[in-house]
């Protein structure tokens, strides 16, 4: 695939008027609140929602919200002058009197705030549609999609653009130390960098001038019946890229190749031109639809103390040398996707190299928490079997003695449908300790438990334990862990927070 040209910010074709009518292809018809409107966020303590609240306040809206639980993110919002109600009640809406209510996908039916708003004719929109409105207010929008690696890739890309002298607004799915939170506020609305999640097809609300796919796996089983449906929705998302925009796609990922074929069929059927394509991979990776090697690729890969170093080439021309300080082959791929996105949006090779040398990961993405009994404690959001494999592979490259894994699956339906994959991904662990499944958007069906995964692993000769009480997990680690071991807490925030309760050296 060949890159045709750099986007010109003064070219109306490259940067469509953000106030232009929403195209027939866009799912969302939400026109956005009026200037100075009062916006109430239901579930404001969530990673994405707290960031959107900050962005909205910066854009001059009056912002408030509610959440079921107090958290450090809520405290930060309150420090910024954003009022937050703990607990959901109709009285919260009466008190704040919003012009618009925005809710997360995790809010269950019957929420009293949403019911009161609808009964009183207050507009109610989803987080996805509100974020979609924001994407249409920027001249250039880079959306990072994919089953795994979105947060890491978005963080890497943001630093590359900043190091290249640009001033992006950034919306992340995790806290990022350089931003002191989940968002970065740019001085204007020229460039937005955001994560684009397929859950409930939310990314179909977003506008993209550049879109990237990191990989495609079967996930969000409550929304998609099979991998074919997942591929279909990624194709629909990619088909919404501006006609003069860019699609960054992994050469090595078979499901992404199938997605590309669908995009091409869609465009052929409607007579629309394909977006400009860049493929990424490691030297030798071939993109099946074209039969060509990856456009932007890594070669001369070596590992120093477990961290990859490599040269980046752009269509057989040297681009930059990269020293990563996050481990794993998957982070090589993440870095290449970020470089490809940056290169077509004003990023420089020097900016990419400097940013990746400085990058230490986003919160909860292979985050080193400290030392416990002489062991290194690391937390990672690897709740999906494929992500667990990648994280365990990355950890295996670090110098260490034994590895102790504390794992918590995320959502009952995912655990039930991907049960065998959970077993096979965690079976090689020297020792894995399970906490019960976490879900904040389902009722426990009573048919699936982490204990069942542990039992299946042990039947196949593995070493797994299960504890109902998280305090017992800490006690067990205290009896097991020794000097120079690795302790990995893998899964949602609920289990990663448990690492903070260890008595660090």
**Mean per-residue pLDDT, 361-372:** 94
* pLDDT at residue 105 in the model: 85
* pLDDT at residue 24 in the model: 33
DSSP state of 82: -
Please give the Cα distance from 29 to 202 (Å, whole number). 13
DSSP state of 171: E
Structure tokens at 211: 């879109």
pLDDT at 202 over 60: yes
DSSP state of 59: T
pLDDT digits (tens, 9 = 90+) for 377-408: 999 999 999 999 999 999 999 999 999 999 99
* pLDDT at residue 124 in the model: 96
pLDDT at 224 over 50: yes
pLDDT digits (tens, 9 = 90+) for 278-311: 999 999 999 999 999 999 999 999 999 889 999 9
pLDDT digits (tens, 9 = 90+) for 409-441: 999 999 999 999 999 999 999 999 999 999 988
SS3 track for 357-378? HHCCCCCCCCEEEEEECCEEEE
* pLDDT at residue 30 in the model: 73
Cα distance from N-terminal residue to C-terminal residue, the chain: 52
Residue among 401, 398, 258, 256 at smallest CA distance from 333: 256
Q: Based on C-alpha coordinates, what's the Rg of the chain? A: 23
* pLDDT at residue 22 in the model: 33
Please give the Cα distance from 333 to 172 (Å, whole number). 19
pLDDT at 2 over 60: no
> Residues of the chain with pLDDT > 70: what percent?
94
Domains of the chain: 38-125 (3.40.50.720), 136-358 (3.40.1190.10), 367-501 (3.90.190.20)
* pLDDT at residue 7 in the model: 33
Give the angle 472-477-483 at the CA atoms, nearest 5°. 165
Give the lowest-confidence range in 80-89, 101-110, 221-230.
101-110
Q: Which ranges constitute the DSSP H helices of 249-364?
A: 254-270, 329-343, 349-358
Burial of 20 (0-12, 13-18, 19+ CB in 10 A): exposed
Q: Which residues contact 291 (CB under 8 A, 6 or more apart)?
A: none
Please give the Cα distance from 36 to 61 (Å, whole number). 5
How sure is the predictor about 18, in pLDDT bands with cuts at 50, 70 and 90? very low
* pLDDT at residue 146 in the model: 98
pLDDT at 337 over 90: yes
**Mean per-residue pLDDT, 246-260:** 98
Q: Which residues contact 54 (CB under 8 A, 6 or more apart)?
A: 77, 80, 82, 181, 182, 183, 185
DSSP state of 410: B
């Amino acid at each position: 695939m060949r890159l045709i040209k750099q986007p010109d910010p003064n070219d109306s074709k490259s940067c469509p008027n953000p106030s232009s009518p929403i195209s027939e292809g866009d799912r969302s018809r939400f026109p956005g609140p009026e200037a100075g409107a009062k916006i109430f966020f239901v579930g404001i303590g969530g990673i994405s929602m707290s960031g959107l609240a900050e962005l909205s306040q910066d854009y001059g809206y009056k912002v408030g919200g509610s959440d079921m639980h107090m958290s450090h993110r809520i405290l930060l919002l309150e420090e910024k002058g954003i009022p937050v109600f703990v607990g959901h009640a109709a009285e919260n809406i009466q008190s704040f009197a919003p012009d618009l209510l925005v809710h997360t996908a995790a809010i269950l039916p019957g929420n009293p705030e949403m019911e009161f708003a609808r009964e009183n004719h207050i507009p109610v929109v989803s987080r996805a549609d509100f974020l979609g409105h924001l994407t249409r207010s920027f001249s250039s929008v880079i959306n990072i999609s994919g089953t795994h690696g979105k947060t890491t890739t978005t963080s890497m890309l943001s630093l590359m653009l900043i190091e290249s002298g640009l001033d992006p607004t950034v919306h992340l799915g995790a806290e990022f130390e350089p931003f002191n939170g989940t968002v970065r506020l740019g001085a204007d609305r020229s460039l937005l960098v955001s994560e684009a999640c397929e859950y409930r097809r939310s990314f179909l609300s977003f506008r993209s001038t550049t879109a990237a796919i990191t990989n495609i796996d079967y996930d969000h089983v409550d929304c998609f019946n099979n991998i074919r449906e997942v591929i279909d929705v990624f194709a629909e998302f990619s088909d919404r890229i501006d006609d003069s925009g860019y699609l960054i796609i992994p050469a090595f990922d078979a499901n992404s190749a199938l997605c590309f074929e669908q995009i091409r069929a869609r465009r052929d059927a409607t007579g629309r031109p394909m977006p400009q394509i860049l493929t990424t991979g490691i030297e030798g990776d071939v993109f099946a639809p074209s039969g060509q090697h990856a456009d932007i690729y890594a070669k001369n890969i070596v590992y120093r103390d477990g961290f990859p170093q490599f040269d980046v080439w752009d269509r057989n021309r040297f681009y930059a040398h990269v020293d990563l300080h996050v481990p794993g082959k998957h982070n090589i791929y993440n870095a290449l996707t970020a470089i490809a996105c940056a290169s077509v949006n004003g990023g420089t090779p020097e900016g990419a190299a400097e940013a990746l040398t400085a990058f230490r990961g986003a919160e909860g993405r292979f985050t080193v928490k400290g030392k416990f009994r002489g062991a290194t404690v690391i937390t990672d959001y690897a709740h999906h079997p494929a992500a667990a494999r990648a994280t365990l592979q990355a950890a295996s490259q670090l110098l260490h003695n034994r590895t102790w894994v504390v794992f918590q699956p995320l959502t009952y339906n995912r655990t039930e449908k991907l049960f065998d994959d959970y077993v096979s991904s965690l079976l090689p662990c020297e020792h894995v300790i399970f906490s019960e499944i976490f879900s904040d958007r389902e009722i426990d069906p009573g048919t699936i438990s982490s204990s069942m995964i542990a039992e299946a692993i042990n039947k196949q000769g593995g070493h797994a334990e299960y504890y109902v009480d998280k305090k017992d997990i800490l006690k067990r680690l205290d009896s097991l862990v020794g000097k120079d071991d690795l302790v990995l807490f893998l899964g949602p925030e609920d289990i990663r927070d448990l690492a903070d309760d260890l008595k660090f050296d």
